[in-house]
Amino acid sequence: MEVDTKKLPDNLNVCHQIILELLDKINNLGSEMTVLKNRLHTLLRNSYGTKSEKFDPNQLALFAELLEDVKQAQPKEQEQVEPKAKVQGHGRQKLPRNLPRKKIIHDLPEDEKACKCCGKELVKIGEDKSEQLEYIPASLLILEHIRIKYACKNCEESITTADKPSQPIEKGLPGPGLLSHVAVSKYGDHLPLNRLENIFNRHGVKLNRSTMCGWMQAVSELTTPLYKLMIEDVLKSYSIHTDDTPIKLRDAQLKEKSEGRFWVYRGDDEHPYTVYDYTSNRCREGPEKFLGDYAGKIHADAYAGYDNIYETNGAVESACMAHVRRKFFDSQDNDQLRAEIALGFIRRLYMIEREIKGLEIEAKTNIRRQKAKPVLAEFKKWIDEQLNDSASPVLPKSPIGKAFTYTLNQWDALNIYADDGRLDIDNNAAERALRPLTVGRKNYLFIGSNRGGHTAAVIYSLIESAKRHKLNPFKYLRDILQKLPDTKINDLEKFLPNKWKACQEQTSQA
């Protein structure tokens, strides 16, 4: 309320009421200012600071028990410790053996092959060799398809023409290699089509970006059956990692700018494909339609759009500890002591994960039950104590209060992994799988239509699944684009990245 200093009331009770109201207003402003300061600090750190969530290891002094375990694990002075392997330096690395080599011999001129002292002919005694890495610009090649015609001279009626293999784009200009190059350049190397247009111009070939956009749509349509086969296999996974990220949509047919959504669904190791889906919004219908009646384990964030899948299908939510860590990391400026204690608990959990990396599923499960579950119980007990601490209350709307609330709301889902060695402690696998899209949108900025979003989802799925199996995405795409037009639907399985890789290895060994 506003107070007119020239017309102050004479009634003492009214004055007290005014003072109380002003004090409430001051307290509210103080709380709002704290929230705004935290938001400003977070924005500045995200824009200009480090993205790492590491913190000072000395903060683990809060956990005497952990330090004692670390101390006992350290080797005693009298014990011999194997020296660590020497870290590879930053000098010149050996060049790959598979690169083609061209020998350039530098010899003395004939008039210098005589000794300057006695005049006798010099004798070759050896060679000095050095290596230099050279670059040959990519080249374009015109393929002339010549179909031989045959006719019968006797009757002069029967004419037979040799068949030409089916092409990725029937009667189209680009060959499989060119289509693969454009696809990998945009969706693998994040080069917008306008930059590719300029690169091709330097080679003396004019290719409009709109033309290349049509090519990518044709690639998507040709490979969609393979894409659907990958989706079917991913949905057989014991667990799926999923997450989403926005993308700007600028469709000329839409009056207003809008925003689309890319979703990633990463299969487990037995169904090793990373597939993407595109939707025009972030409504729950997107993941519901994609996942269908999937009833396995879902690694996801706290997005409410998955709730109906858990309730209807019986799927089990496995929450992300990295999200919890991020909440407490961002609340350090608000309540440093509590935030650092929480981060210490989470660090203990990740140290256990580092210990069991590479072990069999049963061994992982047993160690998590023995070590991680007690830490989780201790973490929960500490959170309850902090929320019930009347001497130093936690404000619900403060960053530390929101971190506590988020953690408790996800608590059951955060504990799922501790009883199952097949699950992960976090959803970082999905976030890593989204990184190519986030880097890509910084370059090409937006998609031109919902149809373009679906095209991108299909091609991203092929490229990222190929990378997951350490394949050269260009060679993989070029081969399947060349062979898919003449492949029956029942034979598509051999073009799945892992199956294709196994076939290539067998061929090279034969």
Q: Is the pLDDT of residue 438 over 70?
A: yes
- Tens of pLDDT, residue by residue over 402-432, are 999 999 999 999 999 999 999 999 999 999 9
Poorest-pLDDT segment among 153-157, 273-277, 430-434: 153-157
Distant-in-sequence, close-in-space partners of 8: CB < 8 Å, separation ≥ 6: 15
Residue 59: per-residue pLDDT: 55
Q: Is the pLDDT of residue 254 over 80?
A: no
**What three-state secondary structure class fits 297?**
strand
Q: Is the pLDDT of residue 497 over 90?
A: yes
Distant-in-sequence, close-in-space partners of 98: CB < 8 Å, separation ≥ 6: none
Span 170-185, mean pLDDT?
94
Residue 63: per-residue pLDDT: 55
Span 135-139, mean pLDDT?
82
Q: What span, in angstroms and rounded, lies between the C-alpha atoms of 500 and 466?
A: 10
Q: What span, in angstroms and rounded, lies between the C-alpha atoms of 142 and 294?
A: 48
**What three-state secondary structure class fits 370?**
helix
In which band, very low, low, confident or very high, does the pLDDT at 18 lie, cut at 50, 70 and 90?
confident
Span 486-509, mean pLDDT?
92
DSSP per-residue codes, 203-218: TT----HHHHHHHHHH
> In terms of C-beta distances under 8 Å and separation of at least 24 residues, what long-range contacts does 198-205 make, across chains too?
200/140, 203/137, 203/138, 203/139, 203/140, 205/140
pLDDT: which is higher, 332 or 89: 332
Residue 488: per-residue pLDDT: 92
Q: Is the pLDDT of residue 470 over 60?
A: yes
Residue 71: per-residue pLDDT: 47
Residue 90: per-residue pLDDT: 63
Least Cα distance to 64 among 329, 455, 348 occurs for: 348
Q: Is the pLDDT of residue 212 over 60?
A: yes
- Tens of pLDDT, residue by residue over 284-329, are 999 999 999 999 999 999 899 899 999 998 999 999 999 999 999 9
Strand partners, 160: 150
| Residues 27/44, Cβ–Cβ less than 8 Å | no
Q: Is the pLDDT of residue 507 over 70?
A: yes
- In the Cβ-directed half-sphere of 34, how many Cα atoms lie within 13 Å? 17
Q: Is the pLDDT of residue 390 over 70?
A: yes
Least Cα distance to 236 among 288, 179, 295 occurs for: 295
| Residues 307/25, Cβ–Cβ less than 8 Å | no
- For a pLDDT cut of 70, what percent of the chain falls above it? 86
**What three-state secondary structure class fits 381?**
helix
Residue 452: per-residue pLDDT: 95
* Radius of gyration for the alpha carbons in the chain, expressed in angstroms and rounded: 32
| Residues 458/481, Cβ–Cβ less than 8 Å | no
Residue 463: per-residue pLDDT: 98
| Residues 319/414, Cβ–Cβ less than 8 Å | yes
Residue 22: per-residue pLDDT: 76
Average pLDDT, the chain: 87
| Residues 264/279, Cβ–Cβ less than 8 Å | no
Q: Is the pLDDT of residue 37 over 60?
A: yes
In which band, very low, low, confident or very high, does the pLDDT at 86 lie, cut at 50, 70 and 90?
low
Place of tokens 């991020």: 326
Q: Where are the domains of the chain?
A: 329-426
